[in-house]
């Protein structure tokens, strides 16, 4: 039975029912991490791309949360320097998708459904998630946080993306202000799409823990921003990739501290 938005927010704010296991993508030749439920066959998978200059450890809480709700989450730890190649990072994200679908994880106890694959990311990782989705027909859903424009252009790539998308932006993001990044990507998106703005969220509000780049870039980790983004993206990927309608109210209604700035197409599409 579907929950109200308030009920769904409260339930998804807690870890899911699965015990989470952590592995190393380096074992298959790609630096990075993979978090999974302890076991499960035919699971949905999401590949996550880090932000500019950000180590993937700043997103472990988000990744762990998704894994606790039944997702395999893989995050390549490449292109972390000051001059990253967006094209190469996109290729690494697609390679991580290959790992999820072709390698038995968890000593063979875990397998991924190739029809339930998503892309996600923060900052440049969000832009590269769009590039990867435009290039890879396996991607069925895209969810981003503080998306940054890329080279090649994520705005141009969005015109090739017919899968559902949820883009979360920070109202006080001075590194990737929505008007020049998430908004044009949303406007160009070919499929069902929603853009939400999180009140007072900065560019680094989506990250976790302190890191030296907090002295260089705008903003700092914000627990409220992290909480809202975890809840909404978990609800989105559950709905689109698995067909779980229980938390759909979160995708249809505004919630405190997070406005719906743009919607086109069904608010709660599903490909499952």
> Residue 169 sits in a domain of what CATH number?
3.40.50.1820
pLDDT above 90: residue 270? no
pLDDT category, 219, cuts 50, 70, 90? very high
The listed range with the strongest mean pLDDT (21-25, 120-124, 212-216, 265-269) is 120-124
Number of domains present in the structure of the chain: 1
Range of the domain at 154: 5-264
pLDDT in tens, 79-94: 999 999 999 999 999 9
Question: What's 2's DSSP letter?
Answer: P
**What is the mean predicted confidence (pLDDT) over 101-109?**
77
Domain membership of residue 215 (yes or no) is: yes
pLDDT category, 28, cuts 50, 70, 90? confident
User: Omega before 152 cis (within 30°)?
Assistant: yes
**What is the mean predicted confidence (pLDDT) over 240-258?**
95
pLDDT in tens, 169-181: 999 999 999 999 9
**What is the mean predicted confidence (pLDDT) over 190-210?**
97
pLDDT above 90: residue 266? no
**What is the mean predicted confidence (pLDDT) over 135-150?**
98
CB-CB contact of 172 with 202 (8 Å): yes
pLDDT above 80: residue 1? no
Domain membership of residue 272 (yes or no) is: no
**What is the mean predicted confidence (pLDDT) over 205-211?**
96
pLDDT in tens, 50-70: 999 999 999 999 999 999 999
Domain membership of residue 269 (yes or no) is: no
Domain membership of residue 120 (yes or no) is: yes
pLDDT above 50: residue 272? no
Rounded distance between C-alpha atoms, residue 124 and residue 169, angstroms: 13
The rounded Cα 3 to chain-centroid distance in angstroms is 23
What's the order of all strands across the beta sheet hosting 165-170? 20-24, 32-37, 72-76, 40-49, 110-122, 139-145, 165-170, 193-198, 258-264
User: What pLDDT, on a 0 to 100 scale, did the predictor assign at position 103?
Assistant: 79
User: What pLDDT, on a 0 to 100 scale, did the predictor assign at position 135?
Assistant: 97
Instruction: Map residue 206 onto helix, strand or coil.
Output: helix
């Amino acid at each position: 039975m579907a929950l109200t938005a308030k009920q769904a927010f409260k339930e998804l704010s807690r870890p899911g029912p699965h015990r989470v296991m952590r592995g190393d993508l380096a074992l298959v030749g790609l630096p990075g991490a993979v978090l999974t439920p302890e076991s499960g066959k035919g699971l949905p998978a999401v590949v996550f791309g880090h932000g500019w200059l950000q180590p993937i450890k700043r997103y472990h809480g988000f990744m762990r949360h998704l894994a606790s709700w039944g997702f395999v989450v893989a995050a390549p730890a490449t292109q972390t320097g000051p001059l990253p190649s967006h094209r190469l990072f996109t290729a690494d994200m697609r390679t991580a998708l290959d790992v999820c679908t072709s390698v038995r994880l968890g000593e063979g106890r875990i397998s991924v459904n190739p029809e339930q694959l998503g892309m996600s990311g923060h900052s440049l990782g969000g832009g590269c998630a769009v590039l990867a989705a435009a290039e890879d027909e396996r991607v069925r859903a895209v969810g981003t946080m503080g998306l940054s424009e890329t080279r090649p252009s994520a705005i141009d790539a969005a015109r090739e993306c017919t899968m559902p998308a949820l883009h979360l932006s920070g109202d006080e993001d001075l590194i990737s202000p929505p008007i020049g990044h998430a908004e044009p990507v949303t406007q160009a998106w070919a499929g069902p799409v929603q853009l939400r703005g999180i009140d007072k969220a900065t560019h680094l509000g989506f990250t976790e823990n302190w890191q030296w780049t907090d002295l260089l870039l705008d903003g700092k980790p914000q627990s409220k921003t992290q909480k809202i983004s975890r809840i909404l993206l978990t609800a989105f990927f559950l709905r689109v990739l698995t067909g779980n309608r229980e938390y759909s109210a979160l995708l249809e209604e505004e919630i405190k501290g997070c406005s719906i700035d743009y919607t086109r197409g069904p608010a709660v599409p599903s490909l499952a």
